[in-house]
């Protein structure tokens, strides 16, 4: 039985899109397809005008490494590494030297206001701080697209707002394409494009004015 059915979706460069739906709706599967972590059994996926659904895994990994950053609900940090080392790690696979990796990681941690925590390990930090490390790590290769899977799911409302404000700033100031997968309706207020999915089908896809929403 197919998980997704008749999906036809276009997310424009520079958009802030939220994919919403209950547990089991297919939103995580859709996220994996959009992030090129999985490929459809039928249909096509286009990125920059190219059908990537027939690309090899090596080519897909190369595209992910350069163009897509991922942020996960569980943070996915290595507990035995410091914040700085966690952010430096992905740059090893891009062939950067240690000094360049270290400097880039420091800059990114400053950008998420964690300059005083660079030598702390994840277990010494709050959930909100760990998620900010994960955001910094997702930016190491300056990706065009950021995909966040329930980025506030393990956070209280205050830390959740801090994380969403960071994503909103990345969208506004750096023109990143942001795709957030969530079941939390409050996150939709940050979005221009809200996509509802249920039973593997898109039931609603609408655009909204964020400025108007925030004035309400």
What are phi and psi for residue 96, nearest 5 degrees?
-80, 145
* Structural domain includes residue 133: yes
* Structural domain includes residue 207: yes
* Structural domain includes residue 4: no
The pLDDT of residue 210 is 54
The pLDDT of residue 93 is 77
If you average pLDDT over residues 91-113, what whole number do you get?
Answer: 91
The pLDDT of residue 189 is 87
Quick: pLDDT tens for 133-144: 999 999 998 999
Q: Is the pLDDT of residue 53 over 80?
A: yes
Q: How many domains does the chain have?
A: 1
Range of the domain at 74: 16-215
Mapping DSSP onto H, E and C, the string for 29-84 reads: HHHHHHCCCCCCCCCCCEECCEECCCCCHHHHHHHHHHHEEEEECCCCCCCCCCHH
* Structural domain includes residue 10: no
The pLDDT of residue 209 is 65
If you average pLDDT over residues 113-128, what whole number do you get?
Answer: 95
How many beta carbons lie within 10 A of that of residue 41, not counting itself?
9
Q: Is the pLDDT of residue 213 over 90?
A: no
Output the domain CATH number for residue 24: 3.40.50.300
Instruction: Tell me which H or E stretch contains 198.
Output: strand 193-198
If you average pLDDT over residues 68-81, what whole number do you get?
Answer: 93
Least confident of 80-84, 196-200, 206-210: 206-210
Q: Is the pLDDT of residue 107 over 60?
A: yes
* Structural domain includes residue 195: yes
* Structural domain includes residue 32: yes
Residue 15's pLDDT band (boundaries 50, 70, 90)?
Answer: very high
* Structural domain includes residue 8: no
Mean pLDDT of the chain: 91
* Structural domain includes residue 151: yes
């Amino acid at each position: 039985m197919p998980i997704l059915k008749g999906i036809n979706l276009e997310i424009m460069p520079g958009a802030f899109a939220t994919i919403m739906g209950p547990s089991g709706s297919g939103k995580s599967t859709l996220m994996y397809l959009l992030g090129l972590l999985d490929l459809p059994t039928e249909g096509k996926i286009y990125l920059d005008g190219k059908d990537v659904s027939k690309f090899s895994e090596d080519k897909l990994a190369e595209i992910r490494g350069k163009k897509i950053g991922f942020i996960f609900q569980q943070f996915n940090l290595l507990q035995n590494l410091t914040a700085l080392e966690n952010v430096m790690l992905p740059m090893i696979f891009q062939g950067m030297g240690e000094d360049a990796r270290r400097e880039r990681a420091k800059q990114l941690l400053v950008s998420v206001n964690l300059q005083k925590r660079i030598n702390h390990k994840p277990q010494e930090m709050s959930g909100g701080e760990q998620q900010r490390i994960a955001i910094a790590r997702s930016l190491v290769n300056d990706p065009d697209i950021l995909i966040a899977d329930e980025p506030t799911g393990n956070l209280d409302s205050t830390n959740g707002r801090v994380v969403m404000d960071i994503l909103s700033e990345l969208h506004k100031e750096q023109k990143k394409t942001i795709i957030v997968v969530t079941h939390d309706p409050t996150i939709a207020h940050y979005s221009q494009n809200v996509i509802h999915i249920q039973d593997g089908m898109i039931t609603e896809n609408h655009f909204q004015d964020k400025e108007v929403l925030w004035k309400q």
